Amino acid sequence: MSVRLITHADIPAYQRLLHDAYQATTQLGIHFAAATVTPEQITRHIDSNAVYVYEKQGQLVSTLSIRFPWGNNPGPYGLPHLGWFATCQHYKGQGFGNALWEFVEKQILISQLKLPAVTLGTAANHPWLAQIYIKKGYHEIGQADLTADHTTIYFEKIFNHQSYSEWQNRSTKVCKP
């Protein structure tokens, strides 16, 4: 398995991957930003987030992004937020997306970044995505109506309960001069 951070040279292939992978969701009437993303939007995305790709024989097969709270498109809960998860239609069902997801969780989020938790969001009316995330250990923490075509369900996965509790305690305190 070859997993790496995306580069600007990958933008055309990355755009094709996202458009291809999100086509099925668009056909369901659910419009995620990744389905129609432009090269300029991708540039902003990769300049502000950690975008990992699974590569097979020089071809981008799957991708997963980590949006940071300090980036240009932070998640709503003050934690890193996963997004733009996609696998090329030709490779769906072969385990590449799951392999990338597990690598990012274990090697990046837990081992390198030592995150207490991470969040993600998906469309409430999507027929299978919420169940996939629940099977991966995520639990629902909220909802929001961000677009006209769907309600977003937010999920969270706690990696380290002690660190998570400490983070929560610090993030709820008000700083006094």
φ and ψ at residue 92, rounded to 5 degrees: -60, 145
The pLDDT score that the predictor gives to residue 158 is: 98
- In the three-class reduction of DSSP (H, G, I as helix; E, B as strand; rest coil), residue 97 is classed as helix
* Cβ neighbours around 16 below 10 Å, total: 12
Which CATH architecture is the domain 2-172 placed in? 3-Layer(aba) Sandwich (3.40)
The pLDDT score that the predictor gives to residue 174 is: 52
- In the three-class reduction of DSSP (H, G, I as helix; E, B as strand; rest coil), residue 146 is classed as coil
Mean pLDDT over residues 143-172, rounded?
Answer: 88
- In the three-class reduction of DSSP (H, G, I as helix; E, B as strand; rest coil), residue 66 is classed as strand
Minimum mean pLDDT range among 122-126, 138-142, 146-150: 146-150
Sign of torsion, CA 78 167 154 66?
positive
Between 26 and 165, name the one with better pLDDT: 165
Question: What are the tens digits of pLDDT across the range 34-44?
Answer: 889 999 999 99
Closest CA to 90 of 112, 59, 66: 59
Query: Which two tokens mark 86?
Result: 């996609």
- How does DSSP assign 10-36, residue by residue? GHHHHHHHHHHHHHHHHHTT---GGGG
- In the three-class reduction of DSSP (H, G, I as helix; E, B as strand; rest coil), residue 76 is classed as coil
Q: What global pTM score does this model have?
A: 0.91
The pLDDT score that the predictor gives to residue 176 is: 47
pLDDT at 167 over 60: yes
